């Protein structure tokens, strides 16, 4: 099932390194070409000779062991279809998150433009360390979280390398499941910023994480992706940075005609200040200040109207899919049903922002997907990358 695919396995210095010998065998039995790169510390747990015999390829360790016209880290990044780092230590994960390239494995990871799977394994206290978790969440890769159980250090908790079957199955899924090949997906994310004066503005608590997860997932599923966001984001697909609702409207409209699907995950401000002060507004002796707000365009509704006017009923199948988001703090389903009817979009993703475990800035979400025919599908609480994959499965089957 992996015939013709080249898998780059990165092994770091953790006790679970010995388990990767069997993972390599699993890949080889599936007819994959397996390349192995180790950190120097990984060889304290598994030998280079063993890995070479199992992979039937030379194992790379040293940073500057250049054998042809290409530096090793670029050569490996170009040759492989996917990179699987397992076990991934807290040290290596934090280095990759911060862009540190002090060995061959981290240099390859920095240069790698194709899918990456990271399977962490470490002591449970290291896993729960907030600084490590911050580094982990900077990565836009496929993270296979460790399992709970008895650890080699004697502790009991979360930190065991996930099952090899899970790593193998995820590799197969990423390399073979490409339902969005040939499609252009446009995603909006983040909360818009509406200026009051040069130092003050109106905005909201949207982190942009759900939109970013959707864009990353679409890319992994084979799509050509454009992300329109209010956040500072660096990705290896097209990213358009905007600020206000009017900026976002203009950017979305430019992308509309050439897109196959537009996902409006951004939290667009309903109102903006009527007159932006060119200078900082000074504090006065008055206890109150009045700002006059005017309504922003309804980007989602405008897109749906544009689609309706541009595509007659017999050509609707070739029109872009339009997916909206509905963030509610009460009466979630009732409000979502009313919104999809009012806006006229193809799908609506409803999420409850009042819950602390899935609200703004959380790395997790729980949503209900509604379609224009009245069907509903609840997606139970999971990390936002998982939710994003499930959303695409609902949309595209």
List residues with catalytic annotation.
Answer: 153
Residue count of the chain: 397
What's the first-to-final CA gap in the chain, in angstroms?
A: 22
Cβ atoms of 377 and 352 within 8 Å: the answer is no
Question: For residue 287, what is the enclosing H or E element?
Answer: none
- What are the residues whose beta carbons fall under 8 Å from the beta carbon of 204, sequence distance 6 or more? 191, 192, 267, 269, 360
Pick from 170, 249, 263, 175: nearest CA to 213: 263
Number of Cβ within 10 Å of residue 206's Cβ equals: 23
The CA distance from 27 to 2, in Å, is: 8
Residue linked to tokens 């703090």: 329
The CA distance from 321 to 148, in Å, is: 41
- Residue 286 burial by Cβ neighbours in a 10 Å radius (0-12, 13-18, 19+): exposed
Cβ atoms of 330 and 354 within 8 Å: the answer is yes
Residue linked to tokens 């984001």: 233
Degrees (nearest 5) of the Cα angle 384, 387, 389? 115
Residue linked to tokens 């430019």: 254
And the tokens for 271?
A: 């109102």
The CA distance from 263 to 146, in Å, is: 31
């Amino acid at each position: 099932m992996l015939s013709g695919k080249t898998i780059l396995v990165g092994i770091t210095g953790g006790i679970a390194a010995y388990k990767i010998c069997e993972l390599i065998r699993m890949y080889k039995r599936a007819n994959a070409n397996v390349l192995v790169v180790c950190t120097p510390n990984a060889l304290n747990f598994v030998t280079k000779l063993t890995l070479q015999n199992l992979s039937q390829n030379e194992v790379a360790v040293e940073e500057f062991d250049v054998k042809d016209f290409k530096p090793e880290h670029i050569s490996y990044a170009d040759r492989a279809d996917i990179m699987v780092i397992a076990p991934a230590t807290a040290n290596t994960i934090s280095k990759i998150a911060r862009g540190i390239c002090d060995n061959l494995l981290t240099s390859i990871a920095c240069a790698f433009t194709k899918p990456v799977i990271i399977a962490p394994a470490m002591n449970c206290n290291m896993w729960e360390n907030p600084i490590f978790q911050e580094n982990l969440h900077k990565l836009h890769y496929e993270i296979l979280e460790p399992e709970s159980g008895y650890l080699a250090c004697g502790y009991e908790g979360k930190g065991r390398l996930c099952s090899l079957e899970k790593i193998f199955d995820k590799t197969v899924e990423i390399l073979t499941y490409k339902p969005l090949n040939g499609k252009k997906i446009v995603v909006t994310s983040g909360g818009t910023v509406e200026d009051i004066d040069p130092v003050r503005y109106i905005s909201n608590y949207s982190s942009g994480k759900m939109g970013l997860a959707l864009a990353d997932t679409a890319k992994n599923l084979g799509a050509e992706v454009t992300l329109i966001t209010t956040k500072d984001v660096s990705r290896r697909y097209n990213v358009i940075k905007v600020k206000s609702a009017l900026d976002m409207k203009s950017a979305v409209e430019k992308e509309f005609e050439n897109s196959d699907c537009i996902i409006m995950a951004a939290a667009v401000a309903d109102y903006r200040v009527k007159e932006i002060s060119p200078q900082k507004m000074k504090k006065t002796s008055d206890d109150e200040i009045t700002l006059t707000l005017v309504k922003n365009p309804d980007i989602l509704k405008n897109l749906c109207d544009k689609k309706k006017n541009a595509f007659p009923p017999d050509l609707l199948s070739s029109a872009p899919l339009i997916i909206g988001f509905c963030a509610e703090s009460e009466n979630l389903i009732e409000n979502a049903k009313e919104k999809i009817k009012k806006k006229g979009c193809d799908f609506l993703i409803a999420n409850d922002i009042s819950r602390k475990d899935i609200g703004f800035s959380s790395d997790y979400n729980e949503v209900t997907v509604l379609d224009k025919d009245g069907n509903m599908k609840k997606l139970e609480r999971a990390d936002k990358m998982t939710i994003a994959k499930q959303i695409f499965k609902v949309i595209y089957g």
